[in-house]
Structure 1
Amino acid sequence: MAQLLSACFLILVSVQLVKSSAVFELNVYSFTTTSSSVCKQSRDCQVFFRVCLNYTQDVISYRLACSNGTGLTGTFSSDQSSIFTSAPITVPFNLNWLGTVSVIIEAWNAESSNDQPTENLNNMIGHFATKINLTIGQKWSLGEQIGEKSELRFSYRVVCDEFYYGDDCVDFCRSRDDPFSHFTCDDAGNRICLHGWKGQYCGEPICFSGCSEEHGHCMAPGQCNCRYGWQGPRCEECLPYPGCKHGTCKHPWECRCEKGWGGLLCDKDLSV
């Protein structure tokens, strides 16, 4: 049991360590080279890209220094000297370092379409290192690296992770409809209560229209459940004292006799 609890604890800790409230996205849309053939096999030219982040203002070009996030594309076909449009690369991003970061972008040859992306150094066909400024936003920024024998053009951005919002991606909102909360989220991450619910977390039901706030309550939208001593569709009618025959009440358990009647239960005819 102790080992199981320890394993569960480690899993929870690891999940918290890798959880990010934002992602860095980079899209390579043009890579050309004149140094040599991009692929070894002319009939089946497969490539992929790798990117890594280094949280430093200095440009780090060594791939061994990539310790702050990395991502790969899948493999895709290309011709012998150029590559156009790859799938975006996404990297979980630590928002403690918004600003200038060092980025390494690498182009790789996959030996065949059946291979999974690998990082055999003999298959690297391009290597670029630069620094860029990161801010939160949906708009893509453009970048390019032009060398003596190769050119790389790309776009990048940092966006909030799923369910996170705001300038710093710290506002969390995830739609839910369960016994505790009933809401959806708008584009800014604000909670929008579902029909029939209210409150900060949309957990308070909206009672039947006109239901007395003082004498009624509800457990679900549209109800009006009367508190002890009250009755009626809107819980505005007091319950008289049990057995009261010719009397009324302003407060529960009273028996105020109508004209011409008396007694504890208003059952004595005073005109006799």
Structure 2
Amino acid sequence: MSSGPLLLLGLMMVLCPERVSPAGVFELKVHSFSSPRSVCVAGRPCRLFFRVCLKHAQPVVSPDPPCTFGAALSDILPAEPGAIAGSSPVRVPFHFKWPGTFSLIIESWSAHSAELSTENPENLISRLATRRRLSVGEDWSQDVHLGQQSELRYSYHVTCDEHYYGDSCSDYCRPRDDTFGHYTCDPEGNRLCLSGWKGEYCSEPICLPGCSESHGFCERPGECKCRIGWQGRLCDECVRYPGCLHGSCSQPWQCTCQEGWGGLFCNQDLNYCTNHRPCQNGASCTNSGQGSYSCTCRPGYTGSNCEIETNECASNPCKNGGSCNVSVYSCMYVFMYK
């Protein structure tokens, strides 16, 4: 089989939960049987067997076929009390919801050969036909039939097969730990998830505590895998626009610039003066946008960043005997009075 049909089968098993028919077994145990009619034939051992027939509930139970709920035969037994009392129960399996009320027919037959045959009506020793009500359970119900042809003491019960539960054996629960479920079953047939799993069929892993329900997921218990656009241990951090330098995001692929930054990648310094303080020697700085600036130098300095010191007094700017002060670039005059 190619991988395509196998994959489709697996998908159907996930989408369509297991559907199974109810299953159980009706068991009847004969404790004693006696009849004035002889079951022995001259020259042959005295042997007999029992036939159990289950039918739907009838106001007047008809012994005629069919046995709508099923039928079964016992082993061939010696017609001795000890052999009958020690015989195995007669089992009638079923694959439907146990109805609770049913018709029961128990027949005893002479066995003149090694074959279990109910064809010859002359071999029928006795027949019991009755209507009964029986709930599912391990306990045996005791009963006795006293008739003109026989005395029959017996008990019976109905139980669910393994993995079947409920009053009608229609609840199914089989422990599993595979792709389609991770659970055990309680005594009532309810699914109990194994550690780390949740959901109706215990097929949903429990992610790492704190993992974002919106932006994270997991394929195994304790994981936290991020969906596209999210990152971090708990998948609660958005991924910024590629190349975003001085920005943040509240949704994936955003680049919201921090104060003082601009541009598509938030890489353009809009407040260069404050962030870099390029102007020297006490000069004042003015932002001109797009990462540019200008410096206004104090007297005695020049250059783009006012980094060059100048000597304004070198050219002797002061006239008439004035002295030049470099620090404040001013001329001082001394007047003499006679």
**How far does residue 98 in structure 1 lie from its aligned partner after superposition?**
3.7
- Cα separation, 1, equivalents of 2:213 and 2:22: 44
State TM-score, norm by structure 1: 0.73
The equivalent residue for 1:41 is 44
User: What is the Cα deviation at residue 155 of structure 1?
Assistant: 1.2
Question: Number of residue pairs matched?
Answer: 247
Higher relative contact order at CA 8 Å, sep ≥6: structure 1 or structure 2? Answer: 1
Q: Identify if the C-alpha distance between structure 1 residues 29 and 89 changes in structure 2 by more than 3 Å, giving closer, same or farther.
A: farther
Q: Distance in 1 between matches of 2:97 and 2:237?
A: 58
Residue of structure 1 in register with 2:140 after alignment? 140
Segment drifting more, 172-181 vs 242-251: 172-181
Larger Rg: 2
**1:53 aligns to 2:43 (yes or no):** no
Question: What letter corresponds to residue 70 of structure 1 in structure 2?
Answer: G
Task: Give the gaps of 5 or more residues in structure 1.
Answer: 1-18
Post-superposition shift, 1:242?
0.7
Alignment CA distance shift 1:81-1:96 (3 Å): closer
Secondary structure of the residue aligned to 2:189 is coil
Q: Distance in 2 between matches of 1:109 and 1:202?
A: 55
Note the C-alpha offset of 1:143. Answer: 0.8
Q: Which residue of 2 aligns with 1:254?
A: 254
2:282 aligned residue: none
Q: How does 1:1-272 map to 2 (within 5 A)?
A: 23-37=25-39, 41-42=44-45, 47-54=48-55, 55-60=57-62, 62=63, 64-78=64-78, 80=80, 83-84=84-85, 85-92=87-94, 95=97, 98-99=100-101, 101-111=102-112, 115-121=114-120, 122-148=122-148, 150-160=150-160, 163-258=163-258, 261-269=261-269, 270=272, 271-272=275-276
Give 1:105 shift: 0.7
How many angstroms does 1:48 deviate by? 2.9
**Residue deviations 1:172-220, cap 9 Å, x none?**
4444555444433322121222333211232322222321111101233
Q: Could you say if the C-alpha distance between residues 142 and 215 of structure 1 is closer, same or farther in structure 2, counting changes exceeding 3 Å?
A: same
In the TM superposition, what whole-angstrom CA distance separates every residue of 1:40-87 from its partner, at most 9, and x where no partner exists? 733xx6543211134212243x4x344323322442543546611332
Give the aligned residue type for 2:49. Answer: F
Using the alignment, how far apart are the partners of 1:173 and 1:124 within structure 2?
A: 43
Map Cα deviations across residues 95-125 of structure 1 (whole Å, 9 max, x no partner). Answer: 58543x432111234446xx35332434434
Does the 8 Å contact 1:241/1:255 carry over to 2? Answer: yes
Tell me the percent identity. Answer: 45
Q: One-letter code of the match for 2:230?
A: W
Q: Which runs of 4+ in 1 moved over 6 A?
A: none
Is there any run of 5+ residues in structure 2 with no aligned partner, and where? 1-20, 277-338
Does the 8 A contact of 2:54 with 2:71 survive in 1? no
Contact 1:58 1:102 in 2 (8 A): no
Name the structure 2 match of 1:9. none
User: With structure 2 as the length reference, what TM-score do the two structures score?
Assistant: 0.60
Amino acid at match of 2:44: Q
Give the conservation status (yes or no) of the 8 Å contact 2:40–2:47. no
